[in-house]
Amino acid sequence: MSQKLLGIDLGGTTIKFGILTLDGEIQEKWAIDTNILEDGRHIVPDIVASLKHRLALYGLSKSDFIGIGMGSPGAVDRDSKTVTGAFNLNWAKTQEIGSIIEKELGIPFAIDNDANVAALGERWVGAGANNPDVVFVTLGTGVGGGVIADGSLIHGVAGAGGEIGHIIVEAENGFPCTCGNEGCLETVASATGVVRLARYMAESYEGDSAVKAAIDNGDEVTSKDIFTAAEEGDSFADSVVEKVGFYLGLAAANIANILNPDSIVIGGGVSAAGEFLRYRIETYFLKFAFPQVKKSTKIKIAELGNDAGIIGAASLASQFA
């Protein structure tokens, strides 16, 4: 039997696992709840127990695996295989992961940041089509990303490569960002950013709009509500989506003017808007990209959904082949 890869996607709510072929095909997958109680001290033992249980269930042993890869929130130290400051896991202090999993399972282990790992997944078997130059942008609660250039995931000198959400798109009078700067892409293109932008634009909008009325009324409005209303013809909501497309298209063009990737892949919850959002990003991308770049770099929507994490994590393990 040919050897396999194990991928683990560690999140604040669930931990997802996948057993994959060397071609990136998922053969088995499962998930467990993330127990963040008591400073998240149960998380690593829960992962070890779940792995042992499933391997026994499937009749697999350590010799069946080339390696285990994991994507994690927080600041990941790839060499010591530890994580620090993953606050949604209650891991404020440095947490040993690799040493424990390698000892318990006897399989080589690799770890990287969750946004980087999702980028690797989309690049490998998703929209990136295994091209050596792909940039992944994830639009969720925040805006994250991962940069793959000339076949390498780019970490940079201090591991802050791929901070796509903190590209400045409004150099003057931008919204304040959680990072302390103003005008970051995240402030206008994350799920909360889209709503913030809508609130701001509502102040000066004078036409009829159910979304504007809901905002003015103090009702809870989500980014999904805004996209749905725009698709249904609400012209205020449409102007908000257009502005989100402008900011994302500007950021995408500047990324591509620097790196000229084969594609910029848009993922995360906000990307569920699909083509309705993609073509607006592309419109502004084409306005702002250098001529050779606009002919060669494509704007795509991610294809793997929630599986990007386990697939990308598994790809980390292929280094042990």
Binding window for a copy of itself (CB under 8 A); candidates: 48-56, 209-217, 248-256, 274-282: 248-256
In the complex, least distance from residue 18 CB atom to a copy of itself, rounded to whole angstroms: 26
Which token pair is 105? 């399972």
Residues binding a copy of itself: what is the number (CB under 8 A)? Answer: 49
Residue 207 binds to a copy of itself (criterion: CB under 8 A): no
Residue 295 binds to a copy of itself (criterion: CB under 8 A): yes
In the complex, least distance from residue 284 CB atom to a copy of itself, rounded to whole angstroms: 9
Contact 261, 254 (CB under 8 A): no
CB-wise, 1 or 158, nearer to a copy of itself?
158
In the complex, least distance from residue 259 CB atom to a copy of itself, rounded to whole angstroms: 5
CB-wise, 221 or 241, nearer to a copy of itself?
241
d(CA 86, CA 260): 32
Which token pair is 132? 């050596």
Sole binder of a copy of itself in the list 16, 81, 123, 166 (CB under 8 A): 166
Task: Report the DSSP beta bridge partners of residue 96.
Answer: 82
CB-wise, 276 or 288, nearer to a copy of itself?
288
In the complex, least distance from residue 79 CB atom to a copy of itself, rounded to whole angstroms: 15
Query: Cα–Cα–Cα angle for 33, 34, 35, nearest 5°?
Result: 110
Helices and strands counted in the chain (H then E)? 12, 13
d(CA 55, CA 53): 6
Query: Cα–Cα–Cα angle for 261, 67, 93, nearest 5°?
Result: 85
H or E element, residue 236: helix 235-259
CB-wise, 202 or 289, nearer to a copy of itself?
289
**What is the rounded end-to-end Cα distance, in angstroms, of the chain?**
15
Sole binder of a copy of itself in the list 262, 264, 312, 317 (CB under 8 A): 262
d(CA 208, CA 201): 13
Question: Distance from CA of residue 56 to its chain's centroid?
Answer: 32
Residue 180 binds to a copy of itself (criterion: CB under 8 A): yes
Residue 115 binds to a copy of itself (criterion: CB under 8 A): no
In the complex, least distance from residue 257 CB atom to a copy of itself, rounded to whole angstroms: 5
Q: How many CB atoms lie within 10 A of CB 85?
A: 14
Task: Mark residues 118-157: x for contact with a copy of itself by CB under 8 A, - for none.
Answer: -------------x-x-------------x-xxxxxxxxx
Sole binder of a copy of itself in the list 9, 114, 122, 163 (CB under 8 A): 163
Task: Report the DSSP beta bridge partners of residue 265.
Answer: 136, 300
What's the DSSP call for residue 179? T
User: Helix 223-231 to helix 275-288 angle, to the nearest 10 degrees?
Assistant: 90
Contact 229, 203 (CB under 8 A): no
In the complex, least distance from residue 149 CB atom to a copy of itself, rounded to whole angstroms: 5
Residue 161 binds to a copy of itself (criterion: CB under 8 A): yes
CB-wise, 66 or 253, nearer to a copy of itself?
253
In the complex, least distance from residue 171 CB atom to a copy of itself, rounded to whole angstroms: 5
What's the DSSP call for residue 86? B
- Positions touching a copy of itself (CB under 8 A) are 131, 133, 147, 149-164, 166-169, 171, 179-181, 246, 250, 253-262, 287-293, 295-297
